[in-house]
Chain A
Amino acid sequence: CRCRALLRRPAGAPQALRGMAAGPDMHFGFETVTEEERREKIYQVFESVAKKYDVMNDSMTLGIHRVWKDILINRMNPTPGTLLLDVAGGTGDIAFRFINYVRSVRQQQLQRKLKHNQNLSWQEIFESYQEGNSNSLGDSQVVVCDINREMLKVGKQKAQHLGYSEGLSWVLGNAEELPFDDDNFDVYTIAFGIRNVTRIDLALQEAYRVLKPGGRFLCLEFSHVSNPVLSSLYDLYSFQVIPVLGEIIAGDWKSYQYLVESIRQFPPQEELKAMIEDAGFFKVDYENLNFGIVAIHSGFKL
């Protein structure tokens, strides 16, 4: 039936292994490539999509990705003073939300403090304002780390445009080999990035390493839809519509073809949970959003 033809993965049976270059076989979407080739190809994908990344996210998910990211920060529930590492954070979506959240929590804290101190002298009140102003984030900080220069560039421009400067740093780095010391961060997030990492196990080990004891690992990523009806509709939309959107909006069919294929290749919820546990995390759990189209995985370093 024609429907099935539409749902079938598009033409492109995996290519034969090529090159004598180092590295075992890996997948790039539905193609088979070496490890080195995969890293390179993924770098090129993000280099090419960087400028239209946000527009495409909005078009493909009809704006719902914003809700997913809001929920992630909500689950994180950071308190002022938290040090966050956002890996593969490219264009800054998580970082900006984090800053907004701690800022509002901080506001509430200060307001509560003021209410409490109704009988202070005017001098004491004035001093507390000074403190408040220079500390609207309460010493919270977020480090955005990404392997791709173009994505970081877009992120920095956005930050400037939206007026984010305090508590924000941008670092070029590889999730498989982070340029940070051990036991450094309170929270580690990776939103829609772990799918593009070539050695997920290494990235998880690095996440464990750089987190402080008691630190939390949070991963927001596309996952598997178990409901068969929804799964068919989701496949139809992914394979038929998304590459077309990529061509029309960004003039780039291939990158978005890669995107939908890479989602299918990514381990499902339970498998990812097991991988996170393997890296040493405890109390690993996941929460499905939108029937499994997206899942938030969480774990703690104890």
Chain B
Amino acid sequence: GRARLSHSDPRGWDGRVGPEEEVEEEGWHGLYPGHIRTSPLQKALLAAGSAVVALCDPYRHDMVAVLGETTGCLALPNLRDKMRHHPEGYRILQERPRICLSTLDMSRLRELPDGSLGREYVRFLEDNKVSPDTRMPPKFVDDEELAYVIQRYREVHDLMHTLLGMPTNMLGEVVVKWFEAVQTGLPMCVLGAAFGPVRLSARKLQVLATELVPWAIRSGLNASCVLNVYYEQRWEQPVESLREEIGIFPPP
């Protein structure tokens, strides 16, 4: 049988269909496709377990995602409120845009001038061999709007890399996590920022501590909420101008 949307928000929280969403969700009883209802005890166990696994094996992205969802109960409503009180953020919440290969016109973005957000984003994806379709859909968030907020945060993560000019190696990821921790307050970001560096060499740690982290923190504090930017409408805008507008200092 097809997935039933009758007992969920009629808006359907994802406006379009990415290739991964075409798989029908048989008999889901949650607030959105993929939602799994959990008791407080289960959430606590999930948070603890995913934290341990994510620390031991940082490549378990699914565990990082689960950790974010199970610990975000304070930070996510906060973020959602910030979005609601901002005109662009509010529009994003209404229109629910998604950043995935089916909604992006990659060839058009590639043809944009160098230095524009779209061109640099595509360059980042190609240089680091990543795709916007690898983000985990949320499962354990018990509010469908908050589920969208965390999904948006995940999809915007690659744009953060682009705006901060950081690659996807361990060092770059840690820097972005520091920035995101300051920006969003998500415990998962804070934990990632605090524990990520344990796997770095001494030399990298030094660069991290003396230059990159202070810059990331300063930018994070100075910048307005990054989820309040409708990136899909700003592909042509030069990265530097967007940085200035948001309040991110130029990378060291």
Interface residues of A (CB under 8 A from B): 5-6, 10-13, 15, 18-19, 31, 41, 240-241, 243-245, 247-248, 251, 253-254
Look across to chain B and name the residue whose beta carbon is closest to the beta carbon of A243: B42
**Does B36 contact A31, Cβ atoms closer than 8 Å?**
no
Decide yes or no: A244 and B29 within 8 Å by CB, A6-B39, A10-B37, A19-B1 being known contacts.
Answer: no
**Does A240 contact B46, Cβ atoms closer than 8 Å?**
no
In the complex, what distance in Å separates the CA atom of A12 from the CA atom of B42? 16
- Interface bits B30-47 vs A (CB < 8 Å: 1, else 0): 000000110101100110
Closest 7 CB pairs of A and B: A248-B49, A18-B1, A244-B45, A11-B37, A12-B29, A15-B27, A251-B62
B49 to chain A, nearest CB (A): 4
- B62 neighbours in A (Cβ, 8 Å): 251
In the complex, what distance in Å separates the CA atom of A15 from the CA atom of B28? 9
Interface residues of B (CB under 8 A from A): 1, 26-27, 29, 36-37, 39, 41-42, 45-46, 49-50, 53, 60, 62-63, 66, 139
In the complex, what distance in Å separates the CA atom of A6 from the CA atom of B39? 7
> What are 15 residue pairs bridging A and B, where the CB atoms are less than 8 Å apart in the complex?
A10-B37, A11-B29, A11-B37, A12-B27, A13-B29, A15-B27, A18-B1, A240-B41, A240-B42, A241-B45, A243-B42, A244-B45, A247-B50, A253-B139, A254-B36
- A15 neighbours in B (Cβ, 8 Å): 27
In the complex, what distance in Å separates the CA atom of A6 from the CA atom of B40? 9
Interface of A is mostly: helix
Q: Which of B1, B39, B60, B66 contacts A240 (CB 8 A)?
A: B39
In the complex, what distance in Å separates the CA atom of A253 from the CA atom of B28? 13
In the complex, what distance in Å separates the CA atom of A18 from the CA atom of B24? 14
Q: Which of A6, A13, A241, A253 contacts B36 (CB 8 A)?
A: A253
Decide yes or no: A247 and B29 within 8 Å by CB, A6-B41, A10-B37 being known contacts.
Answer: no
A3 to chain B, nearest CB (A): 10
Decide yes or no: A248 and B39 within 8 Å by CB, A11-B29, A19-B1, A240-B45 being known contacts.
Answer: no
In the complex, what distance in Å separates the CA atom of A117 from the CA atom of B36? 68
B186 to chain A, nearest CB (A): 19
- B66 neighbours in A (Cβ, 8 Å): 247-248
- A254 neighbours in B (Cβ, 8 Å): 36
- A247 neighbours in B (Cβ, 8 Å): 46, 49-50, 66
**Does B49 contact A244, Cβ atoms closer than 8 Å?**
yes
- B45 neighbours in A (Cβ, 8 Å): 240-241, 244
- A244 neighbours in B (Cβ, 8 Å): 42, 45-46, 49
- B139 neighbours in A (Cβ, 8 Å): 253
**Does B1 contact A248, Cβ atoms closer than 8 Å?**
no
**Knowing that A6-B39, A240-B45 are A-B contacts, what are 5 other residue pairs whose CB atoms are under 8 Å apart, sorted by A's residue number?**
A11-B29, A15-B27, A31-B27, A244-B46, A248-B50
- B27 neighbours in A (Cβ, 8 Å): 12, 15, 31
